Homo-oligomer: A and B are copies of this chain.
Amino acid sequence: MKKLLQVHFAFPGPFGAEMAEQLQGLAASINEEPGMIWKIWTENAAAQEAGGIYLFEDEASAEAYLTMHTARLQQLGVTQVHGKIFDVNAELTQINHGSIGE
């Protein structure tokens, strides 16, 4: 069953276009992660936070990614990574036009 992963953490930047330029390689690598279906990149320059909303093929791939991503962020100096994994209620999501790649 597909799983949604939401992640956020304190982040000093860069944001916006500069973030996109610097992290294109990282984004490309994320497409190669097992079970990754899509990611929406989130950022808040005012709050100095960033993160992502991901859809994975199953719980194992979502958990493996969160473990790897948390370790990677910690190596970059991020001290607290907030990550949560959820099921998607497909029927209600369809009513509200959410796309989960069906």
List residues of chain A with CB under 8 Å of any chain B CB.
4, 6, 8, 15-17, 19-20, 23-24, 27-28, 30-31, 36-45, 49-51, 53, 84-89, 91-93, 95-101
Partner of A24, one of B84, B85, B87, B95: B95
Q: Check A86 against B6 for contact (C-beta < 8 Å).
A: no
Q: Check A89 against B41 for contact (C-beta < 8 Å).
A: yes
Residues of B within 8 A of A93 (CB): 39-41
Partner of A43, one of B28, B86, B99: B86
Determine the residue in chain B with the shortest Cβ distance to A40: B98
Q: Report how far A16 CA is from B50 CA in the complex, Å.
A: 30
Q: Check B86 against A51 for contact (C-beta < 8 Å).
A: yes
Q: Check A31 against B97 for contact (C-beta < 8 Å).
A: yes
Residues of B within 8 A of A23 (CB): 92
Q: Check A49 against B96 for contact (C-beta < 8 Å).
A: no
Determine the residue in chain B with the shortest Cβ distance to A27: B95
Q: Check B99 against A99 for contact (C-beta < 8 Å).
A: yes
